Structure 1
Amino acid sequence: MGELLIGTCSWTDKALVASGWYPAGRRDAEGRLRHYAERFSVVEVDAGYYALPSVRNSVLWSERTPPGFRFDIKAFSLLTGHPTRKEALPPDLRGHDLGDPELLDEVWHRFGAALRPLRESGRLGAVLFQFPPWFAPGARAENMLHATRKRAHPWPMAVEFRHPDWWREDRRERTAALLRDLDVTAVAVDTAQGLPTSMPRVTPVTSSRLAVVRFHGRNAAWGTGSKEDRFRHTYTPEELAAWLPRLRFLADRAEHVHVLFNNCCGDAAVRAAETLLGLLAGS
């Protein structure tokens, strides 16, 4: 059976820091990460979506975590077709047009350079490419997936779709085959069901090395409203226990399974991760 690594989609979220989960004396940048890494074995760096990560931070993260700890890095917004503010770019690149191919080349280069210390220390888990809700199945999207994989060829790559049609029953096998051919991990998600934007709760395995599950919460505002509205949810033990067979299914087919909680707010994500760890230990 593969290794299950449990964690959350951020350890620096302001609401988490304010919740009191971090004890006194461990609320500075170094203390927070060391405290988190003593309790969980993986974390997602969602800040990589909002701004390019830095080489310096990757070095510090490697130094402050134990061997075997993994960082999943969320790809910068420009690399997945999301709207990107010029202010999110490094100052020396803000004079470029966002559609400039040379700018895109440079962003890819700097993103990759920032990942290098994590790769060299054995702490890079996966690079998560989360595509926007309008990224629908079709030839254009498939071409972009091929181009993205070519750019990201040195890294373990995971893809999360936000358009439900990718995993509709009549399309599911084709999507899985595409990602398998690209050697890309399909990200399984847990979200509210019954909404036009709901993602099917499927657990495809498209890589024998890695499977990824992201728990976004089950708020009916999924796909609308503010971030707090979309992701606000407290997982119950019963909701998480229902996932145990699915997680074992993934672990039977992949060497590593990363399970990440993205539910807000406060300490809801770390508490859900702790609950899941307890369920797994007792099962």
Structure 2
Amino acid sequence: MGDILVGTCSWTDPALVRSGWFPTGQRDAEGRLRYYAGRFPVVEADASYYALPQERVSRLWVERTPDGFTFDVKAFSLLTGHPTRESVMPNGLPADTKDRGVLDEVWSLFAAGVEPLRRAGRLGSVLFQFPPWLRPGDRAERILAQTARRTRDWPVSVEFRHPDWWRSDRDAASTRALLAEYGMAAVAVDMAQGLPSSLPPVTPVSTSRLAVVRFHGRSTSWGRGTKEDRFRYTYSEDELTAWIPRLRELAERVERVHVLFNNCCGRASVGAAEQMDRLLHADRSRT
């Protein structure tokens, strides 16, 4: 059975920093990461979505975490087709996805930024979270093929946000096959159901290396409202317990399962991760 690693989708979220979860004396950048890494084995670095990762910072992350600690790194917004502010673009480049020269430089800088993690064996995956307007079809397949060429030899996971990727058994089979062709790990999500943007509660496997489950919370404000509205959610023990057999089943099929909580509002994400870890340990002791 593969390992199940539980963590959160950020350790730097301002609401978490303000919550008091980090103890006094460990609230600077170094202290926060060291404290987090002493409690969880994996984290998703989401700051790389908003600005390109820096090689110097990645080296510090390696130095400040124990051997075996794993980072999933979220791909920069320009690389997944999301709107990108000109102010975060490097070297005064325009945020133009149609300019091959711009894309070449951004890809190169992103690769350099995560290389210390990859070289140290700490890079669990680079998460490509594609926008909700990317539907299945020829254009999407071209984008995925281009992404695969750019990320050759990287560990990659993919979260599609349009429901059509997983809506029916036939859709799901096609999506799994497409990801498997490129050796990319499929990302499952837990979120509110019954909304137009709701993704079906599937747990696909597209590579034996890794499966990822991201818990977004079950707020009915998903797709509208403020960020806090969308992610404000506290999981109940029953909701987490219901996932235990599904996570165990995934672990029987892959080498590692990453379970990441994205309900980043105050202590909600770390609280849910801590509770999920306890439930998994309790379940293991009974078997």
Q: TM-score, normalised by structure 2?
A: 0.96
How many aligned residue pairs are there?
A: 282
User: Is 1:229 aligned to residue 229 of structure 2?
Assistant: yes
Question: 1:126 aligns to what?
Answer: 125
Unaligned runs of 5+ in 2: none
Question: 1:14 aligns to what?
Answer: 14
One-letter amino acid matched to 1:30? E
Question: 1:149 aligns to what?
Answer: 148
CA distance in 2, matches of 1:215, 1:223: 15
Q: What whole-Å deviation, never above 9, does each CA across 1:66-92 have from its counterpart, x for those lacking one?
A: 1110000000000001011111112x1
Runs of 4+ in 1 over 2 A off after TM superposition: 93-99
C-alpha spacing 1:36/1:98, structure 2 compared with 1 (3 Å) = same
C-alpha spacing 1:214/1:96, structure 2 compared with 1 (3 Å) = closer
C-alpha spacing 1:18/1:173, structure 2 compared with 1 (3 Å) = same
Unaligned runs of 5+ in 1: none
C-alpha spacing 1:96/1:36, structure 2 compared with 1 (3 Å) = closer
CA distance in 2, matches of 1:126, 1:95: 27
Quote the offset at 1:99 in angstroms. 3.1
One-letter amino acid matched to 2:156? M
The correspondence of residues 1-150 of structure 1 with structure 2, limited to 5 A, is 1-90=1-90, 92-94=91-93, 97=96, 99-150=98-149
One-letter amino acid matched to 2:109? R
One-letter amino acid matched to 1:68? G
One-letter amino acid matched to 2:137? G
CA distance in 1, matches of 2:251, 2:24: 36
Quote the offset at 1:96 in angstroms. 7.0
One-letter amino acid matched to 1:227? K
Question: 2:167 aligns to what?
Answer: 168
Quote the offset at 1:98 in angstroms. 5.1
User: Taking every aligned residue pair, what percent have the same amino acid on both sides?
Assistant: 64
Q: Indicate conservation of the 8 Å contact 2:80/2:130, yes or no.
A: yes
Q: What whole-Å deviation, never above 9, does each CA across 1:112-137 have from its counterpart, x for those lacking one?
A: 01111001111111000000010000
Q: What whole-Å deviation, never above 9, does each CA across 1:138-175 have from its counterpart, x for those lacking one?
A: 01101110110110112100000110000011311111
Question: 1:255 aligns to what?
Answer: 255
Q: Indicate conservation of the 8 Å contact 2:9/2:44, yes or no.
A: yes
Quote the offset at 1:259 in angstroms. 0.5
One-letter amino acid matched to 1:94? L
Q: Indicate conservation of the 8 Å contact 2:93/2:102, yes or no.
A: no
Report the 3-state secondary structure (helix = DSSP H, G, I; strand = E; otherwise coil) of the residue aligned with 1:27: coil
Cα RMSD of the aligned pairs, angstroms, is 1.0
